[in-house]
Amino acid sequence: MTITAAADGSALGNPGPNGWAWYIDDENWAAGGSPHGTNNQGELQAVLELLRATAGRDEKLVIECDSKYVIDSITKWMPGWKRKGWRKSDGGPVLNRELMEALDVEIRGRDIEFQWVKGHAGHPLNEAADERANAAAKAYQQKIEPRRGPGFVGDGGAVAAVTDATRPRPSAASVPRSATEPLWAAASDLLDGLDSPAASAPVELRLMLSGDEHARLRDRAAAQGISLEEALRRLI
């Protein structure tokens, strides 16, 4: 059996609010994005999230992509970049290195084939992914929660793989959030408690987050230009 999926990205302003999406069918798709990013970053993130969502499956994965930059980066240029310490032939740093390194990890041992398709040319999977990526970018532009999709549920409705961005949520959560609900906490919420005396000794805190919760925390951190750990510290 082969899993065939489309991965696509979108950016409003390039850079600007961006979105990503991968799509297999109406029961298996996911989308997300960030408040500020490029179209190429959205395209790369879409492939990365698809690989993470389908990790552990034995089936061949065919990825339809309308970005030759993404396909060439992964299938042609990446080995040379790695040999040169993630630098291009001219000695300059590889753009989007963090995403490239993550993709390098996820493709190891996988049976993957990329197929280039022309964008906006009626390819059903590509059109579906493009629509969802663009909708996610618009959601970030409007500072509302994007439709994240059900993720990858595989055959028979059983969850085959879950990731931060694609973990299925309870059915009630599939209802889109109200447009009036803020995507990010108010500034006062993030600053409260920062002037309190520090504890005399560090306290280790372990917290289990759902995929949706982690994605929202990641979005808040990106909006503030801080790490996930710092975003969580501020919320606490």
What secondary structure does DSSP assign to 79-135, as a single string? HHHHHTTSB-TTSPBPTTHHHHHHHHHHHTT--EEEEE--TTSS-HHHHHHHHHHHH
| % of the chain beyond a pLDDT of 70 | 69
193 Cβ contact partners less than 8 Å away, ≥ 6 residues apart: 236
Looking at residue 174, its pLDDT comes to 31
Query: pLDDT tens digits for 59-69?
Result: 999 999 999 99
Looking at residue 200, its pLDDT comes to 52
Active site residue 130: yes
List the catalytic residue out of 66, 145, 212, 219.
66
Measured from the Cβ of residue 104, the count of other Cβ atoms closer than 10 Å reads: 15
Active site residue 8: yes
Active site residue 131: no
List the catalytic residue out of 8, 64, 106, 212.
8
Active site residue 36: no
Q: How far apart are the first and last CA of the chain?
A: 46
Split at pLDDT 50, 70, 90, the class of 201 is low
| pLDDT reading at 213 higher than 70 | no
Range from 1-5, 35-39, 204-208 carrying the lowest mean pLDDT: 204-208
List the catalytic residue out of 19, 42, 43, 145.
43
CA-closest candidate to residue 167, choices 36, 32, 20:
32
Looking at residue 199, its pLDDT comes to 44
Looking at residue 229, its pLDDT comes to 76
List the catalytic residue out of 56, 85, 90, 120.
120
Measured from the Cβ of residue 26, the count of other Cβ atoms closer than 10 Å reads: 9
Looking at residue 218, its pLDDT comes to 73
Q: Stretch 161-179: mean pLDDT, rounded?
A: 34
Residue-range domain boundaries for the chain: 2-164, 187-235
Query: pLDDT tens digits for 103-160?
Result: 999 999 999 999 999 999 999 999 999 999 999 999 999 999 999 999 999 864 333 3
Q: How far apart are CA 48 and CA 31, in angstroms?
A: 12
Active site residue 9: yes
Q: How far apart are CA 233 and CA 199, in angstroms?
A: 13
- C-alpha separations of 145 from 32, 179, 181 in Å: 9, 7, 8
Residues 147, 31 contacting (CB under 8 angstroms): yes
List the catalytic residue out of 49, 106, 130, 219.
130
Looking at residue 59, its pLDDT comes to 95
The overall average pLDDT reported for the chain is 81
The token duo for 215 is 């994605």
User: CATH classification of 2-164 is 3.30.2010.10, yes or no?
Assistant: no
Active site residue 155: no
Looking at residue 170, its pLDDT comes to 31
Burial class from Cβ neighbours inside 10 Å (0-12, 13-18, 19+) for residue 36 reads: middle
